[in-house]
């Protein structure tokens, strides 16, 4: 349920539109009740709009400034001017749900490497092999590249990849020195892998992101697409699953320098 105006922080434009958004929510609730809708899509749509508006306003002092917020204000205002205003606002929210949120949602499942190789290579040989495959987009090569860059550990919790520590004594010694745990570490795509695999979907994602001043070069960028290093982050397996379901996420921290991830 969307909060009342007294409990949110918006500028005068946002506050002026909030009553309209709450009316659309009430309309969507009544529609779901009268039709017996199981999934309540219209209600989801209007709540996407409401929470996006509040969140975009709270991030106006970050990288993309006021543009995403102002863009959404313009879209909501455009809906309010139409005869089918409430219905159109619900549909706008569903458009964002279908094309903006999906960019970050992944159905990827964990990938496990078998450490029981008959001849385990040294860590240095492994490192050289990975460095020789910098342009590969094969899933296993992409994961290896991210693991090497991140030190074969989760960048959020610090835990080491258990397969790597079992395979390479050098990494196990480093883990013991750091007094860190070990677990399954996965390679997360910040922009999901599926967003680069389907031409029609990729085009719609481009169109939506450009509305918010995030161009194709920023989210796909190089010929490696979503597999470029800046879009990869090693995560503990549990966090990885939550991240893919959008139950945890990362936010920019104001007044903090951008974080770079140097190679090992």
List CB contacts of 1: < 8 A, sequence separation 6 or more: 25, 47
Which among 39, 65, 99 is the end of a domain? 99
The mean per-residue pLDDT over the stretch 180-184 comes to 92
Q: What's residue 73's pLDDT?
A: 92
What percent of the chain has pLDDT above 90?
37
Q: What's residue 127's pLDDT?
A: 73
Which among 47, 65, 99 is the end of a domain? 99
- pLDDT greater than 50 at residue 118: no
Q: What's residue 121's pLDDT?
A: 46
Structure tokens at 251: 């936010």
Buried-state track 170-194, b at ≥16 Cβ within 10 A, e below 16 = bbbebbeeeebebbbbbbbbebbbb
- pLDDT greater than 90 at residue 98: no
- pLDDT greater than 60 at residue 42: yes
Both 137 and 163 in one domain: the answer is: yes
Both 151 and 201 in one domain: the answer is: yes
The predicted-structure confidence for 62-76, as pLDDT tens digits, reads as follows 767 888 899 899 999
Both 128 and 258 in one domain: the answer is: yes
* Number of domains into which the chain is organized: 2
- pTM for the structure as a whole: 0.54
What does pLDDT average to over the chain? 79
Both 113 and 214 in one domain: the answer is: yes
- pLDDT greater than 90 at residue 3: yes
Per the structure, the complete domain to which residue 64 belongs is given by: 5-99
Both 69 and 120 in one domain: the answer is: no
| pLDDT tier, 157 (very low <50, low <70, confident <90, very high otherwise) | very high
List CB contacts of 49: < 8 A, sequence separation 6 or more: 21, 24, 72, 76, 89, 92, 93, 96
Both 91 and 133 in one domain: the answer is: no
Both 118 and 69 in one domain: the answer is: no
Q: What's residue 234's pLDDT?
A: 93
Both 145 and 92 in one domain: the answer is: no
- pLDDT greater than 60 at residue 206: yes
Determine which of 55-59, 208-212, 239-243 has the lowest per-residue pLDDT on average.
Answer: 208-212
Both 70 and 180 in one domain: the answer is: no
Both 191 and 91 in one domain: the answer is: no
The predicted-structure confidence for 11-37, as pLDDT tens digits, reads as follows 999 999 999 999 999 999 998 888 877
Both 149 and 248 in one domain: the answer is: yes
Contact 246, 132 (CB under 8 A): no
Q: Which of 166, 162, 186, 163 has its CA nearest to residue 110? A: 186
Which among 99, 133, 165 is the end of a domain? 99
Both 70 and 196 in one domain: the answer is: no
């Amino acid at each position: 349920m969307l909060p009342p105006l007294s409990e949110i922080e918006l500028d005068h434009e946002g506050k002026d539109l909030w009553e309209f958004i709450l009316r659309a929510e009430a309309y969507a609730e009544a529609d779901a009740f009268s039709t017996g809708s199981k999934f309540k899509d219209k209600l989801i749509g209007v709540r996407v709009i409401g929470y996006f508006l509040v969140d975009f306003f709270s991030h106006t002092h970050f990288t993309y400034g006021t543009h995403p917020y102002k863009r959404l204000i313009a879209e909501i205002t455009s809906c309010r001017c139409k005869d089918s205003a409430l219905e159109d606002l619900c549909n706008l929210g569903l458009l964002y749900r279908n094309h903006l949120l999906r960019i970050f949602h992944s159905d990827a499942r964990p990938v496990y490497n078998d450490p029981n190789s008959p001849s385990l290579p040294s860590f240095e040989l492994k490192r050289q092999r990975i460095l020789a495959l910098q342009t590969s987009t094969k899933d296993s090569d992409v994961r290896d590249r991210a693991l090497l860059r991140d030190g074969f550990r989760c960048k959020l919790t610090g835990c080491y990849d258990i397969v790597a520590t079992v395979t390479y004594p050098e990494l196990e010694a480093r883990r013991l020195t750091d007094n860190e745990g070990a677990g399954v570490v996965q390679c997360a795509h910040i922009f999901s892998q599926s967003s680069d695999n389907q031409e029609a979907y990729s085009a719609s994602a481009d169109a939506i992101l450009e509305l918010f001043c995030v161009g194709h070069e920023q989210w796909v960028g190089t010929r490696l697409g979503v597999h470029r290093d800046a879009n990869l982050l090693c995560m503990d397996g549990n966090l990885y699953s939550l991240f893919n379901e959008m139950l945890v996420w990362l936010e920019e921290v104001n007044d903090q320098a951008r974080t770079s991830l140097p190679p090992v």
